[in-house]
Amino acid sequence: MMPVEDFERELKERKEQGLYNTIRKIGSPQGAWIIVDGKKVLNLSSNNYLGFANHPRLKESAKKGIDDYGAGPAAVRTIAGDQLPQEQLEEMLAAFKGAEAAVLYQSGFCANLGTIPALVTEGDAIFSDELNHASIIDGSRLSRAKIIRYPHLDAEALEDILKQERGNYAKAMIITDGVFSMDGDIAPMEKLADLADKYNCMLYVDDAHGEGVLGKSGRGIVDYFGLQGRVDVEIGTLSKAFGVVGGFAAGSKLLAEVLKQKARPLLFSSAPTPADVYACMEAVKILQESDELVNKLWDNAKYFKESMSKAGFDLGKSQTPITPVMIGNELTAQEFSKKLFERNVFAQAISYPTVPKGKARMRVMISATHEKKDLDFALEQFTAVGKELGVI
């Protein structure tokens, strides 16, 4: 029997503290304007950076995937075999990333849960940025390696820690988000690569929010820093800029071989569907053909951020299209989101535990699907609510 009173008390506390999640009903495909709970609103909440989630070419490809290979794989890859397109997508992703090989997972979350424990274990160490994503934290815990956190983005502090700790462990790995999803800042990859060399560590970056966004035609963070061959693992997700669902790990042929033997989501959970795989192959093709959408995304982000800063908002330390609008108090952030929605703008308040207590914010996700007039509308509504709630 579930201890009903305990759970009810916990849920009540969450509501009182402004920490209770309410999942909205989306009544349309993803895009600049969407139907949320029956109302047409400007969408500033999704990770649909390039508009691929409802792109005609991806939709066509997904349908072809179903026609060619059916609705689902009906099996774990290592038990019933690979359908051809999964391997094809792995090859395309590796080439896109400038890596030797890539291994496909069911999601970015699964990619971290599978890859980290395949590479380190008890007696090893993980040096982890203190603001790393939940899936890195969970993957690290599953590995049973010692987790040693370092201050956010602080390579100097990490070096001090490495000097003291590295000698106590067999294998070691430095792990970081590439783009931090709640702040939009970027990991100092060159410094981390130097430290990985100097202290004999593997280097692991989760590029979930860099893919399709950073680097040439959205090739991601390793391309952005020109670090090909110096990063052991580059995790990607196919559910943000790629607009579909799935994840992968890119790196050496050896990495791929190890993961295909040891990564548990690959050994014990079914493969992504043919529709997902075909749609993702089309996304890679579009990015290889042109950087038009990536450029539009960055133009939009620059335009919106400059206007919001001029209006007096604190946008934190973002270096990417992820735009946090800092509020502080959790209840004010929830109120902000509610008032924006009344004004036909869908932007989510992000609070603890996703970000630290007292650092609640509105998280604005800019997309290439937005037109300038959409961003002007957003600015107008943010300014009105910001003044009403005393944020600006």
Catalytic residues, which ones?
Answer: 181, 209, 240
Among 45, 135, 176, 300, which residue sits at the site for ligand PLP (rule: CB under 6 A)? 135
237 binds ligand PLP (CB under 6 A): yes
Q: Tell the smallest beta-carbon distance from residue 180 to ligand PLP (Å).
A: 8
Toward ligand PLP, which CB reaches closer, 187 or 195?
Answer: 187
Query: Phi/psi of residue 175, each to 5°?
Result: -125, 135
Residues 6+ apart with CB under 8 A from 372: 300, 303
The residue whose Cβ lies closest to ligand PLP is: 108
Location of structure tokens 């609705």? 71
Q: Tell the smallest beta-carbon distance from residue 184 to ligand PLP (Å).
A: 11
133 binds ligand PLP (CB under 6 A): yes
Across 207-237, b (16+ Cβ under 10 Å) vs e yields: bbbbbbbbbebbbbbbbbbebeebbbbbbbb
Among 173, 193, 208, 315, which residue sits at the site for ligand PLP (rule: CB under 6 A)? 208
254, 257, 258, 264 alpha-carbon torsion, rounded to 10°: 150
334 binds ligand PLP (CB under 6 A): no
Question: Looking only at residues 145 through 164 of this chain, which bind ligand PLP when binding is defined by CB under 6 A?
Answer: none
Candidates 105-113, 150-158, 183-191, 255-263: pick the segment binding ligand PLP (CB under 6 A). 105-113
239 binds ligand PLP (CB under 6 A): yes
105, 110, 113, 119 alpha-carbon torsion, rounded to 10°: 10
> What DSSP string runs through 107-152?
SHHHHHHHHHHHH--TT-EEEEETT--HHHHHHHHHHTPEEEEE-T
Across 273-312, b (16+ Cβ under 10 Å) vs e yields: bbbbbbbbbbbbebbeeebebbebbbebbebbbebbeeee
Candidates 102-110, 160-168, 216-224, 304-312: pick the segment binding ligand PLP (CB under 6 A). 102-110
Question: Looking only at residues 176 through 205 of this chain, which bind ligand PLP when binding is defined by CB under 6 A?
Answer: 177, 181
Question: Count residues contacting ligand PLP (CB under 6 A)?
Answer: 13
282 binds ligand PLP (CB under 6 A): no
Q: Tell the smallest beta-carbon distance from residue 333 to ligand PLP (Å).
A: 19
CA distance 320 to 327: 19
Toward ligand PLP, which CB reaches closer, 320 or 383?
Answer: 320
Residues 6+ apart with CB under 8 A from 264: 113, 114, 117, 118
Q: Tell the smallest beta-carbon distance from residue 234 to ligand PLP (Å).
A: 12
Question: Would you state the structure tokens that stand for residue 229, as one six-digit string?
Answer: 């061959």
Q: Tell the smallest beta-carbon distance from residue 179 to ligand PLP (Å).
A: 8
Among 90, 183, 206, 276, which residue sits at the site for ligand PLP (rule: CB under 6 A)? 206
Residues 6+ apart with CB under 8 A from 375: 300, 303, 304, 307, 366
Toward ligand PLP, which CB reaches closer, 209 or 363?
Answer: 209
108 binds ligand PLP (CB under 6 A): yes
Q: Tell the smallest beta-carbon distance from residue 136 to ligand PLP (Å).
A: 7
Q: Tell the smallest beta-carbon distance from residue 14 to ligand PLP (Å).
A: 20
Instruction: Tell me if 103 sits within 8 A of 125, measured CB to CB.
Output: no
| Residues at the contact surface with ligand PLP, assessed by CB under 6 A | 107-109, 133, 135, 177, 181, 206, 208-209, 237, 239, 247
